Amino acid sequence: MQTLSLLSFVTGLSLLATSVAAQEADPIYAYIDKVEAAQQELSERYGYDNAPETLDAAFRAAGVDWARRYTDPWGNNGLFLDLDAASSFYHRAEEDLEKWADAVEDGDVSVDDAISELVPAMEHFDRVHQIIELGFQDEVLTMAEKAWWLDRHEEEANCLLPIYDCEGDRAAYEATKAAAERARAASRAPDWHWIGGSMSSPTLVLIRSRRGDRLLRT
């Protein structure tokens, strides 16, 4: 009976220590929640099921008519694929933060030391996230501009404007087609594979632990 009571007491102390360690890592889990929320916000606008609706709203606002038929392919094969490429930035940031939380819970680093490293790391995360957000906004506007020019291009091709005869105006046709391509090429949207790869580790830092110097991300 005494052995059982002692075992229960030791087990209770172990569970209490684990609980305290987990609570100490709470600020890091708050950072993880922030990363997840940032990615979720992008997904709600540019995810596979949502990207066409985002484009359609932009096309309507730009007065696009005929070219609204492109919202599905441009959304799902354009915006969504860009989101998929950029997502590794968020996944790897979350993985790094989880390793920081594990290090705190294991007693390898104090929560104060972890936070001192993660504050500038999360500032870097915020900057890159803003670049990604602005990039998507720019890409949507540029697609809407291209769609507007494609509307003009279709009007020329089908003699829909009264100022042209039924033979059409080949020069105007080619000019509007070229303008549509220039609109898309002029986008300031970043290279998503570069964002997803080269800038995907905002929390990569060297920490000192009882086990020696090591990189959190392996």
pLDDT per position as a tens digit, 177-189: 777 777 666 666 6
Reading the block at residue 146, the tokens are 């291209």
The whole-number pLDDT of residue 202 equals 47
How many CB atoms are closer than 10 A to CB 34? 17
Q: Over the chain, what HEC string results?
A: CHHHHHHHHHHHHHHHHHHHHHHHCHHHHHHHHHHHHHHHHHHHHHCCCCHHHHHHHHHHHCCCCHHHHHHHHHHHHHHHHHHHHHHHHHHHHHHHHHHHHHHHHCCCCCHHHHHHHHHHHHHHHHHHHHHHHHHHHHHHHHHHHHHHHHHHHHHHHCCCCCCCCCCCCHHHHHHHHHHHHHHHHCCCCCCHHHHHHCCCCCCCCEECCCCCCEECCC
- Residue 215 pairs in a beta bridge with 206
pLDDT tens digits along 32-61: 999 999 999 999 999 998 999 999 999 999
CA angle 40–202–216, rounded 5-degree value: 110
Torsion, CA 206, CA 210, CA 216, CA 218, rounded to 10: 110
The more confidently predicted of residues 108 and 52 is 52
**CA–CA dist 76, 78 (Å, integer):** 6
Mean pLDDT computed over 115-120:
89
- Is 135 within 8 Å of 188 (Cβ atoms)? yes
pLDDT tens digits along 147-201: 888 888 777 666 555 554 545 566 666 777 777 777 666 666 656 555 555 444 5
The whole-number pLDDT of residue 24 equals 74
Mean pLDDT computed over 64-91:
91
- Is 132 within 8 Å of 89 (Cβ atoms)? yes
- Is 83 within 8 Å of 107 (Cβ atoms)? no
The whole-number pLDDT of residue 3 equals 56
Q: What is the pTM of this model?
A: 0.72
Percent of the chain with pLDDT over 90: 28
